């Protein structure tokens, strides 16, 4: 079979060069005669590796000094409880922006710990758009404001960072972190599950302003306490070492590409190419407000929706893997085109779309 392009939303394709390096040194990491999977997180070799990993991430995102970077076990869904447990800080309500399924998951969990004010909701647009920022009903007494920077399922992305003044801004960037440069200083906390733009699943990255740490709800599990994790360099207990190692390779790869400005330009170009093809066809369509189309998850439907299962099946036979949309989005198609997806994958997809349409 020729080269496969993997459009999985997550766990997702990682950069080919990263995977090749990981395979080459799988049994013999850095010539040390053993695998990165088989070494203690307390060993100096591992410690040096994770120091470099953090430094690379700090450099890529220009993370200011007053932010802690945590590498935590579990996916972003763990953060849905951790955020209220850590960030309520004596307050009893938080603002959430509802732009789709991932926002809603965060909201559902937060409601178990505090009053949730839905400051804005995309419901009236069936979550195809984001309410204008000047219409948001922000609560001046909220402990924080939470939003999902990119809704992976519908393919809807914030093109701007909301301005919340002194109220800490919290964002789920699971599916678009590291896709472009970011002004970290605008945030109180940024979190992301690794399995899209960072590495294997089972790891999350949390970037948090250190003055927000230390005042947790009394029943917070020790491992859910950001301050304890920060004080222990994310090694209070045994972390997901191999996933962390792969994240390090991905960060090094991003640096080698020239950094996030270059990555962002590539991502913009890839997404534009695909959306342009969709818009120009009479056969495919995308439902998301053009201002908020995701550059990471491009969803599309067939006007003849009964052909969608055939499209997905034949695409897979043609080496275009995992183009099926999420069941919560009512099916359809979704091409997740994270940093690791080369432009050649977009070209192959468009070629296939064109051939399928012609048939």
Is 102 among the catalytic positions? Answer: yes
- Each residue 192-221 as x (binds its own copies by CB under 8 A) or -, in order, gives -x-x----xxxx-------------x-x-x
C-alpha distances in Å from residue 275, one per residue of 123, 126, 294, 305, 328 = 23, 20, 10, 18, 22
Whole-number Å distance between alpha carbons of 356 and 284: 11
Q: Does 330 bind its own copies (CB under 8 A)?
A: no
Q: Does 26 bind its own copies (CB under 8 A)?
A: yes
Q: Does 30 bind its own copies (CB under 8 A)?
A: no
CB 146 within 8 A of CB 110: yes
In this structure, what are the phi and psi dihedrals at residue 116, rounded to the nearest 5 degrees?
-110, 125
Instruction: Tell me how far, at minimum, the Cβ of 239 lies from its own copies, in Å.
Output: 7
Contacts (CB under 8 A) with its own copies, residues 153-172: none
Kindly tell me which of 26 and 133 has the beta carbon lying closer to its own copies: 26
Q: Which of these is catalytic: 95, 172, 253, 295?
A: 172
The two structure tokens encoding residue 179: 């896709």
Q: Does 314 bind its own copies (CB under 8 A)?
A: no
The two structure tokens encoding residue 93: 């309500």
Instruction: Tell me how far, at minimum, the Cβ of 82 lies from its own copies, in Å.
Output: 8
Candidates 1, 140, 166, 306: give the one binding its own copies (CB under 8 A): 1
- Each residue 245-284 as x (binds its own copies by CB under 8 A) or -, in order, gives -x--------------------------------------
Q: Which of these is catalytic: 29, 102, 136, 253?
A: 102
Instruction: Tell me how far, at minimum, the Cβ of 17 lies from its own copies, in Å.
Output: 12
Q: Let me know if 244 is exposed, middle or buried by CB neighbors in 10 A (0-12, 13-18, 19+).
A: buried
Among 292, 298, 255, CA closest to 273: 298
Q: Does 103 bind its own copies (CB under 8 A)?
A: no
Candidates 112, 141, 313, 354: give the one binding its own copies (CB under 8 A): 112
Is 68 among the catalytic positions? Answer: no
Instruction: Tell me how far, at minimum, the Cβ of 219 lies from its own copies, in Å.
Output: 5
Contacts (CB under 8 A) with its own copies, residues 61-80: 73-78, 80
Whole-number Å distance between alpha carbons of 310 and 305: 10
Whole-number Å distance between alpha carbons of 320 and 338: 15
How many residues bind its own copies, per CB under 8 A? 62
Write the DSSP symbol of residue 283: S
Q: In 3-state terms, the chain is what percent helix, strand and coil (to 5)? A: 40, 15, 40
Instruction: Tell me how far, at minimum, the Cβ of 79 lies from its own copies, in Å.
Output: 10
C-alpha distances in Å from residue 8, one per residue of 30, 143, 333, 336, 346 = 30, 35, 11, 6, 13
Instruction: Tell me how far, at minimum, the Cβ of 40 lies from its own copies, in Å.
Output: 5
Is 253 among the catalytic positions? Answer: no
User: In sequence order, what E strands does the chain have?
Assistant: 5-6, 67-73, 93-98, 115-121, 145-148, 150-151, 156-157, 169-172, 189-193, 203-209, 284-285, 297-302, 320-321, 333-336
Candidates 187, 242, 275, 292: give the one binding its own copies (CB under 8 A): 242
Q: Does 92 bind its own copies (CB under 8 A)?
A: no
CB 294 within 8 A of CB 261: no
Write the DSSP symbol of residue 227: H
Kindly tell me which of 224 and 275 has the beta carbon lying closer to its own copies: 224
Write the DSSP symbol of residue 293: B
Residues tagged active-site: 102, 172, 196
Query: Which residues form the interface with its own copies (CB under 8 A)?
Result: 1, 3-4, 6, 8-14, 19-20, 22-23, 26-27, 33-35, 37-41, 43, 73-78, 80-82, 109, 112-113, 193, 195, 200-203, 217, 219, 221-224, 236-243, 246, 319, 321-322
């Amino acid at each position: 079979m020729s080269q496969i392009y993997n459009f999985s939303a997550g766990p997702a394709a990682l950069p080919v060069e990263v995977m090749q390096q990981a395979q080459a040194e799988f049994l013999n990491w850095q010539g040390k005669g053993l695998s990165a999977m088989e070494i203690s997180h307390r060993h100096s070799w591992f410690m040096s590796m994770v120091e470099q990993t953090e430094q690379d991430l700090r450099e890529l995102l220009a993370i200011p000094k007053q932010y802690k970077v945590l590498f935590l076990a579990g996916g972003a869904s763990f953060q849905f409880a951790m955020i209220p447990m850590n960030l309520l800080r004596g307050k009893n309500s938080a603002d959430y922006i509802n732009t789709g399924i991932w926002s809603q998951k965060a909201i559902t969990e937060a409601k178990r710990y505090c009053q949730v004010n839905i400051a804005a909701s995309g419901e009236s647009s069936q979550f195809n758009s984001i309410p204008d920022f000047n219409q948001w009903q922000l609560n001046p007494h909220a402990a924080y404001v939470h939003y999902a920077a990119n809704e992976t399922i519908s393919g809807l992305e914030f093109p701007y960072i909301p301005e919340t003044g002194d109220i800490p801004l919290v964002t789920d960037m699971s599916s678009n972190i590291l896709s472009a440069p970011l002004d970290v200083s605008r945030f109180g906390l940024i979190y992301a599950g690794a399995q899209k733009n960072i590495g294997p699943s089972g790891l999350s990255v949390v970037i948090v302003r250190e003055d927000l740490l230390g005042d947790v709800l009394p029943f917070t599990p020790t491992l859910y306490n950001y301050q304890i994790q920060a004080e222990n360099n994310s090694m209070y207990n045994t972390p997901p070492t191999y996933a962390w190692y792969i994240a390090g390779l991905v960060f090094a790869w991003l640096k080698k590409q020239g950094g996030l400005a270059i990555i962002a330009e590539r991502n913009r170009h890839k997404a534009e190419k695909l959306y342009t093809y969709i818009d120009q066809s009479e056969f495919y369509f995308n439902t998301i407000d053009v201002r908020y189309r995701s550059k990471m998850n491009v969803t599309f439907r067939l006007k003849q929706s009964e052909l969608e299962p055939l499209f997905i099946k034949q695409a897979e036979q043609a080496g275009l893997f995992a183009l099926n949309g999420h069941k919560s989005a009512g099916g359809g198609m979704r091409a997740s085109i994270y940093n690791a997806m080369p432009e050649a994958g977009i070209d192959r997809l468009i070629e296939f779309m064109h051939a399928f349409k012609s048939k």
